[in-house]
Amino acid sequence: MLTIITKNILLFTVGIIIMRIMGKSAITQLTPYDLMAIVIIGTIISEPLINSKIKPTVISLISLTLFYIIYSKLSLNQLFNKFLLGEPTILIKQGKIDEKNLKKEHISLIQLISILRTNGYPKLDDVEYAILEPTGEISIIPKSSVRNVSISDLNIPVEPEKLPIAVIIDGKVQKKNLKLIHKDEKWLNNKLKEENVNLKDVIYAYSVEEREEVYFDVKNKK
């Protein structure tokens, strides 16, 4: 029983490590070679659950990971990228459906209309372009007459948005993050004293580069 549990933990851990090596794009984008790699990895990892041979499985996973990395590098080349990922396909142009491309990509009209509705575009006349991306997602570009008004349309000057950086998580100071916003622990301790907050009581605190404010989320004391 212990051997089975140990084997499962080992395989689960190896699977996570491999997915980390493959990178976030393998999970979010799911290009053809991403999908194929994930399917094969799942099949290989499940094999030792039936028989007791782990070594061949680990070797297969390592070789598959190497092949995946090679394909990922090749996809950076424009020629190979076209072969591995394909090109974007226009499904709607200026409110008109391209039936030829729909058939080519095996997408039904009902599917397309459903995707448009779920993205808030029930009328074809509101869509300038709908493009099937190599990742399988459909990008929808609305006509300028129906898109939301942006700040730039109103000619209002705005400052660049700064990313909030966590400086305390579960009562622990995030030293690397402090460096990102060009601050130190002394500065943070002063902020804690100003707010009369104990470090151990802080669930989450963040600040923004070039600003002095720190926003604290503190535990509720019973």
CATH of domain 164-218: 3.30.240.20
Arithmetic mean of pLDDT over the chain? 79
Domain with CATH 3.30.240.20 in the chain: 89-142, 164-218
Q: Is there a contact between 164 and 211 (Cβ–Cβ < 8 Å)?
A: no
Q: State the Cα–Cα distance between residues 46 and 8, nearest whole angstrom.
A: 9
Q: Quick one: average pLDDT of 132-155?
A: 78
- By CB atoms closer than 10 A (0-12, 13-18, 19+), residue 124 is middle
Per-residue model confidence (pLDDT) at position 10: 66
Report residue 125's pLDDT band, with 50, 70 and 90 as the boundaries.
confident
Q: Is the pLDDT of residue 1 over 50?
A: no
CATH superfamily membership of 89-142 = bsu07140 like domains (3.30.240.20)
Per-residue model confidence (pLDDT) at position 59: 78
Handedness of CA 98, 104, 109, 111 (dihedral sign): negative
pTM summary value? 0.54
Q: Quick one: average pLDDT of 149-173?
A: 77
Q: State the Cα–Cα distance between residues 219 and 222, nearest whole angstrom.
A: 9
Distances, alpha carbon 15 to alpha carbons 31, 55, 184, 203, in Å: 19, 14, 38, 31
Of 40, 42, 45, 46, the closest CA to residue 58 belongs to: 45
Q: Quick one: average pLDDT of 118-129?
A: 88
Per-residue model confidence (pLDDT) at position 199: 92
Report residue 167's pLDDT band, with 50, 70 and 90 as the boundaries.
very high
